[in-house]
Amino acid sequence: MSIVVVTDSASTVSDELAASGRVRVVPLQVIIDDEVLDEGADGVTPEQVATALREKRAVSTSRPAPAVLGELYARLAEEGATEIVSIHLSAEVSGTFESALVASRTAPVPVTCVDSRQVGVATGYAAESALAVVEAGGSAEDAAKAARARAEAATSLFYVNTLEYLRRGGRVGAAAAVFGGVLAVKPLLGIDDGVIVPRAKVRTAAKAIAQLEAMAVEAAGERQVEACVAHLGAGNRAAAMAERLAEQLGDRLVPAASGEPVRCAEIGGVLGAHAGPGMLAICVAPVLDL
């Protein structure tokens, strides 16, 4: 039996893992003006998206069509897959999970679809946990269970310079009502059961970043965790944040596959289009005994 794990490009799995083919990544799309571009190493870059946003060009995003996922599932079956576990970002913020469900109904092999109820790195951690179960000889059901458990245990926190980009895309949800039009506020947001929710409002960027780090350390507790700092167009700030988190979390950290105590990554164009330049995010994911 050959079980293949699939995820989407918004999961921010490492380039190395995606290139290895151990997890298959289906691209979401970014539309800049009228040009439709796939997200990924050979498609639209985060820098292109950040530049387009700063230039106030029309930027939107799109899920993969069911046919795209259907073609991937069929190709994997031809390559020898007997089952597929397809893990995606929250159905509350994207139609990708729905596309996976539709495609699964006509796939030539059984497909288990998982709504991670997360976005970004937390979805990637869910996919990695599913892969670990599969590579240890577990079933597709076991892998899906591991993905859901890892995603549920993870904490996703993020800071944005402005709510404007989230507001434009309709992803801001309850946060819009809380923060309203207070321009001076630096919002700290999180994910609660797949929905973007407010966590705190801070007056300055420096205080917001400090509070974001404190919240991440509190979320880790005394558990063994993996942690990642993600950003869009804020590489220096993100690297400094990763260093501080590594010091604060100490021996509670399980290093990333790259050897970094805290992985630092630039998010893809799709999430970047909604978060905007300057976004900083932290994901803390307890290492579960699955």
pLDDT in tens, 247-266: 999 999 999 888 899 999 99
Domain layout of the chain by residue ranges: 3-28+63-152, 155-286
CATH 3.60.20.10 for the 3-28+63-152 domain, yes or no = no
Gap between the terminal Cα atoms of the chain: 20
Residues 250-265 as b or e (16 or more Cβ within 10 Å = b): eebbeebeeebbbbbb
pLDDT at 246: 96
Count of Cβ atoms closer than 10 Å to residue 63 Cβ:
22
What pLDDT is attached to residue 180? 46
281: helix, coil or strand?
Answer: strand
pLDDT at residue number 171: 52
Given a cut of 50, the residues of the chain with pLDDT beneath it are 174-175, 177, 180
Phi, psi (rounded to 5 degrees) for 150 = -65, -45
Task: Enumerate helices (H) and strands (E) in the chain, giving the number of each.
Answer: 11, 13
- Contact indicator for 29, 251 with CB cutoff of 8 Å: no
Tell me how crowded residue 242 is: count the other CB atoms within 10 A of its CB: 22
User: With respect to CATH, is domain 155-286 assigned 3.30.310.220?
Assistant: no
Cβ–Cβ < 8 Å for 249, 224: no
Say what the pTM is.
Answer: 0.92
Residue type, 172: V
Alpha helix ranges (H) inside the chain: 15-20, 46-54, 66-78, 96-104, 121-135, 140-153, 164-169, 174-179, 205-220, 235-249, 269-275
Region of residue 251 (phi > 0: left; psi between -120 and 50: alpha; otherwise: beta): alpha
